[in-house]
Chain A
Amino acid sequence: METILSVRDLAVSFHTYAGTVQAVRNVSFDLKKGETLAIVGESGSGKSVTSKAIMRLIPNPPGEITNGEILFDGKDLAKLSEKEMLKIRGRDIAMIFQDPMTSLNPTMTIYKQIAEGLKQHQGLRGEDAKKRALELLTLVGIPNPEARLKQYPHQLSGGMRQRIVIAIALACNPKVLIADEPTTALDVTIQAQILELLKDIQQKTGTAIIFITHDLGVVANMADRVAVMYAGKIVEKGTVDEIFYEPRHPYAWGLLGSMPRPTDDPNQALPAIPGTPPNLLNPPKGDAFAPRNPYAMKIDFEKEPPMFQISDTHYAATWLLHPQAPQVTPPPAIIDLALKYRPDSAFAKSIGKGGAE
């Protein structure tokens, strides 16, 4: 598959009165045409900052892209002027923000908000704009679109509003759609409708999606590939099956292990990740996850692990993958899934021998 967006060694810092926050620290990934890449990780790990950097929406000051390239369509977005970026933002790369209420203008009708972009980027006006706006509302599954166009955001339910935000993001058939927690504020039924909608649109238009979330159920449902972020870095990336059935990084184990599953025994404590995320003002040396990592070795506190390659598509930054690392046993939930779905994988076999290699 053709790569359409390539992020290389991206670093973003915020200069605050307390010091420099290194929010994103050398992140690299590729996005392919028509695929969904999920970025997961806990609060503050740098998911939103990464996506805002791609859109060049990092407020400066205090923020700054301090390193790296964002290659799109033969250009490095990190180096474009604001004027050049205006042509790309919204048209080629569009974004859906977490809270539909803050991304809609409460004083404008739905029609006005959709038409604004259509005019700016496609020169559509009058009847043409109206026609396209109706098409878009129909595409996102809004019944009675004619009437909806005349309404204001507060007259719609949360799920409807999020559909409008999606319609606006899709107005120009973007090549890349960045969805930052588009369903976190919604309940499961509405969430299910929005996820189905995004998949449906992706099938029709071939849009590549970067999907940011901390809900691993949503990831399992949506993603082709997954990048796991911790403390401003990608610590593991792979296909969705590799991440769920053959995960290698202890943070990925912790994350996957702490999701409740309907089959869990309520008499057993949920495997929680102890402690709290590190302070990115002074990122610790070594592996940032080490203080919370029950599998941490001495080296984890001293030296940052490189990205080890596991397959063509699977990478993880943990010293446990070093040939001289000791064998460890992942948490039971991880072993269960690996043995159930990937009994023949190197990972499952290594567990069978009593520990990951």
Chain B
Amino acid sequence: MEREKLLEVRDLKQHFKIGRGRVVKAVDGISFDIYKGEVLGLVGESGCGKSTTGRTIIGLYDATDGDVIFKGENVHDKKSKAEKLKFNRAMQMIFQDPYASLNPRMTVADIIAEGIDIHGLAKTKEDRMNRVYDLLETVGLTKEHASRYPHEFSGGQRQRIGIARALAVEPDFIIADEPISALDVSIQAQVVNLMKELQRDRDLTYLFIAHDLSMVKYISDRIGVMYQGHIVELAPADRLYENPIHAYTKSLLSAIPLPDPEHERTRKRIIYESKSLGAVGRSDEDSSIPPLREVEPGHFVSLTDAEYEAYKAQLV
């Protein structure tokens, strides 16, 4: 059965002008699909363009080039206010920093209800508050929290408020930009469990951005690895870990310390050099990177012709 594509990203580019004619190619031609109901993880080192990808998809930045097609419609073409509003409701974002992303002068109820108000989802004041209470309960908080202010909450609780705010408008698709990085390990597990549960119960689709690879593996169906504005490998989550092919992916996976001393005593880190297999961005002028090739079903890797031949040869 053909799965329904919720989001299609086609050759998306985001180049920032940073003065004196210089340009940062934060995202430089990436393409991928997200199917309805799945979690696509996006990983890669700091500065590789993960947040920019998320922010460009949701329209916080105008794309330099490329298309974002959401439910079959090209979202960046949306002109009328009504169209934009509809789109804003269907796609929501959860931000990395639970401390900075909530307005300190608003009560929790007003923060959560902001979207409800904008989209006129509540018929009465009572309906509005009932929705807020339901949402608080959904994310594991209580009614009593509604009248409080963000500074009265711990990091994990604030991130729950951010999730409640995103859920308030009943979106189909949520972009979560490092939703747990700022939290404690023990609290990270609470928030990830909550996000997974919501996904199942409400048939949500996520783009889950992170640089913590262990958590990403746990929550994602498929994972894309970004390096310098490009996707260099994209595969089902377990295949990426069992059979990483791109040299950058290998180095990234081999660098994760696991909570197991015996394993750590023998772990060997693979060092990525930009001359390695599938290396990208060899020089500023040459931004051409090898295309993604499907090396096994659903597993795409950026490889040159020669590298691809070498890979196939090594299989037999």
| Chain A residues at the B interface, C-beta cutoff of 8 Å | 42-43, 158, 186-192, 195-196, 214-221, 240-241, 244-245, 254-256, 258-262, 264, 266, 269-274, 276-277, 337, 341
Residues of A within 8 A of B264 (CB): 217, 220-221
Instruction: State in angstroms the CA–CA spacing of A214 and B212 once bound together.
Output: 14
Name 5 A/B residue pairs within 8 A (Cβ), A-sorted: A217-B214, A217-B256, A271-B189, A274-B190, A277-B154
Residues of B within 8 A of A261 (CB): 214, 258-260
Contact check, B185 vs A258: say whether CB atoms are below 8 A apart: yes
Contact check, A255 vs B186: say whether CB atoms are below 8 A apart: yes
Contact check, A270 vs B185: say whether CB atoms are below 8 A apart: no
Instruction: State in angstroms the CA–CA spacing of A221 and B186 once bound together.
Output: 19
- Given A260-B215, A262-B217, A272-B193, CB of A240 within 8 Å of CB of B261: yes
Contact check, A256 vs B189: say whether CB atoms are below 8 A apart: no
Beta-carbon nearest neighbor of B242 in chain A: A262
* Extra inter-chain contacts (12) besides given A241-B261, A269-B196, A274-B190, CB under 8 Å: A42-B185, A43-B154, A158-B46, A188-B213, A191-B257, A220-B263, A221-B257, A240-B261, A245-B261, A261-B214, A266-B237, A270-B189
List residues 254-296 of chain B with CB under 8 A from any CB of chain A: 255-264, 267, 269, 272
Residues of A within 8 A of B269 (CB): 192, 196
Q: How many Å from the CB of B95 to the closest CB on chain A? A: 17
Instruction: State in angstroms the CA–CA spacing of A264 and B258 once bound together.
Output: 12
Beta-carbon nearest neighbor of A269 in chain B: B193
Contact check, B185 vs A244: say whether CB atoms are below 8 A apart: no
Contact check, B272 vs A189: say whether CB atoms are below 8 A apart: yes
Residues of A within 8 A of B211 (CB): 187-188
What total of A-B pairs shows CB separation below 8 Å? 118
Contact check, B258 vs A262: say whether CB atoms are below 8 A apart: yes
The yes or no answer to B12 lying at the interface (CB within 8 A) is: no
The yes or no answer to B241 lying at the interface (CB within 8 A) is: yes
A273 CB contact (under 8 Å) in B155, B189, B272: B189
Instruction: State in angstroms the CA–CA spacing of A276 and B141 once bound together.
Output: 12
- Which of A192, A217, A220, A260 counts the most chain B CB atoms within 10 A? A260
Contact check, B259 vs A220: say whether CB atoms are below 8 A apart: yes
**Chain B 190-220 interface 0/1 with A at a Cβ cutoff of 8 Å (1 = within):** 1011001100000000000001011101110
A220 CB contact (under 8 Å) in B188, B196, B261: B261
- Given A189-B251, A189-B252, CB of A217 within 8 Å of CB of B259: yes
The yes or no answer to B14 lying at the interface (CB within 8 A) is: no
Instruction: State in angstroms the CA–CA spacing of A192 and B211 once bound together.
Output: 14
Beta-carbon nearest neighbor of A43 in chain B: B184
Residues of B within 8 A of A241 (CB): 261
Residues of A within 8 A of B241 (CB): 262
Residues of A within 8 A of B46 (CB): 158, 186-187, 190
Beta-carbon nearest neighbor of B157 in chain A: A276
Instruction: State in angstroms the CA–CA spacing of A94 and B154 once bound together.
Output: 31
Contact check, B219 vs A214: say whether CB atoms are below 8 A apart: no
Q: How many Å from the CB of A58 to the closest CB on chain B? A: 23
The yes or no answer to B187 lying at the interface (CB within 8 A) is: yes
Residues of A within 8 A of B155 (CB): 43
A337 CB contact (under 8 Å) in B186, B255, B260: B260
Beta-carbon nearest neighbor of A271 in chain B: B189
**Chain B 144-155 interface 0/1 with A at a Cβ cutoff of 8 Å (1 = within):** 000000000011
The yes or no answer to B45 lying at the interface (CB within 8 A) is: yes
Residues of B within 8 A of A259 (CB): 185, 214, 259
Residues of B within 8 A of A43 (CB): 154-155, 184
Residues of B within 8 A of A190 (CB): 45-46
Beta-carbon nearest neighbor of B192 in chain A: A270
Instruction: State in angstroms the CA–CA spacing of A108 and B264 once bound together.
Output: 39
Residues of B within 8 A of A256 (CB): 259
- For the complex of A and B, the 7 pairs showing the least CB-CB separation, nearest first, are A217-B257, A272-B189, A216-B259, A258-B189, A270-B189, A273-B186, A272-B190
Instruction: State in angstroms the CA–CA spacing of A240 and B218 once bound together.
Output: 25
Residues of A within 8 A of B154 (CB): 43, 276-277
Q: How many Å from the CB of B241 to the closest CB on chain A? A: 6
The yes or no answer to B156 lying at the interface (CB within 8 A) is: yes
Residues of B within 8 A of A42 (CB): 184-187
- Which of B185, B186, B261 counts the most chain A CB atoms within 10 A? B186
